[in-house]
Amino acid sequence: MALALVEASDEAKFAAKKVLSKHLNTVSCSICGEFLKNEKRIKFISDHIKNLLLFLGKLMDVLVTKYVTIDH
């Protein structure tokens, strides 16, 4: 008699991951799927990412303006 490999559903994997996380009342991050302590943490991370992207955009503008010339 051979044993068959059974794949767990996504819902079961999600429930197990949530139970095994170290925080109570966790919230899953919409970006990475990791469980975080609460909504405030998700808002902090998303605000941080938004600020980082704004900074990188400004840096790219400066670099393009300084180092790229357009010949007409």
Total domain count for the chain?
1
∠ Cα 58 60 66 (to 5°):
105
Q: Which domain holds residue 60?
A: 10-67
Q: What is the pLDDT along the chain (72 residues), one digit of tens a residue?
A: 677 777 878 788 777 777 766 666 777 776 666 766 666 666 667 777 887 888 888 888 877 777 666 665
CA distance 68 to 62: 10
What is the value of pTM for the model shown?
0.34
Residue 2 within any structural domain of the chain: no
- Taking residue 34's Cβ as centre, other Cβ atoms within 10 Å add up to 13
Which among 34, 38, 8 has a CA at the least distance from the CA of 21?
A: 34
